[in-house]
Structure 1
Amino acid sequence: MPRASKRRSPSAERHADTVRKVLFEARPAGLAFDQLSRASSLSPSQVRAGLACLRDIIAERGWPPLIWSRADGYKFCSDPTELQAYEVAVIREKLTEFRRFITGVVAPHAVLQPKGRWVKHLVTQLNSVESTLEMIADYSDV
């Protein structure tokens, strides 16, 4: 199931290691992005690259997931309830983004080319994805 990025630079791996060490030192508390940048002495772009690479490493090695919240910032988490709440929040955010893509790009494209084979296929597939994401986002056990 892990899907790591195909390319990872050595510098991104170094940044990931730095970010991991800083987050372990802060445990169990998390760190906001600016705190993480200051504590690691990395630039914001280096922290972003490190976080992305760290997520790939976490997936490869089976470590506890890295989550983010406004209250706690970035932190490692193994609490199932907290993980589920985070996952549902991300799905809701992506669903909103996805719906805006459909209404702002795909729907106008379908109006311009109502008989287009590509756009018909696209609309069918995107409606299916939207329905699936909506079921996850509406999951009531959170």
Structure 2
Amino acid sequence: MARNPRRPAQPLSEHFGDLIRVALMEARPAGLHTVQLVAATRLKKSQVQRGIRHLRDVGAAENLTPVIWRRKDGYMFSDDPADWIEYEKKQLAQVLGRLTRMITGTLAPHLARCPDDEWAQLVSAQLTGVSATLAQLSK
């Protein structure tokens, strides 16, 4: 198929996102796991992941139904705000886990060895509040 020279080629992320969107719309209300999306779209796993990221970016920008992920269902579009909240809480819990590991594995030893370090004190003070907020939001 020849490309129209007056129209620029569609960016790959957008193309992958379009293929993923169509597959998820066809599967609705069910979801699709990555392996199923690979089969349905004939994309590579990395391309599926890139398409999902694009869909999330575009969805946020265009106020579309968000793409969520559940262990039992995979990726899906859901019209139920309770599903969105459940997904958001799990994402916040993951961020909290990563932040906690950074604090205990890097920042705490830094402060133990250099208790007067202004940078470490600033980071510690700021991240204490962030951690508390994330803990509350992920409940």
TM-score, structure 2 as length reference: 0.89
**Pair member with larger Rg:** 2
1:1-142 alignment to 2 at 5 Å?
Answer: 10-138=11-139
Structure 1 residue ranges, 4+ long, deviating more than 3 angstroms after superposition: none
Give, as a single letter, the amino acid of the residue that structure 2 aligns with 1:55: R
- Residue 6 (structure 1) aligns with: none
**Offset at residue 112 of structure 1 (A):** 2.0
CA distance in 2, matches of 1:137, 1:27: 27
Question: What displacement does 1:95 show?
Answer: 1.2
> How far apart, CA to CA, are the structure 2 residues paired with 1:81 and 1:49?
26
Aligned length: 130
Residues 41-76 of structure 1 deviation map (CA, whole Å, 9 limit, x = unaligned): 000111111111111110111101100001111001
CA distance in 2, matches of 1:57, 1:24: 15
Paired AA for residue 94 in structure 2:
E
Aligned partners of 1:107, 1:37: CA distance in 2, in Å? 42
TM-score, normalising length: structure 1: 0.87
Unaligned runs of 5+ in 2: 1-9
Q: What is the RMSD of the two structures over their aligned residues, measured on CA atoms?
A: 1.2
Q: Secondary structure at the match of 1:75?
A: strand
Superposition deviation, residue 101 in structure 1: 1.1
In 1: Cα distance, 2:29 partner to 2:19 partner: 17
Question: What displacement does 1:78 show?
Answer: 2.0
- Aligned identity (percent) is 39
Q: Which amino acid aligns with 2:58?
A: I
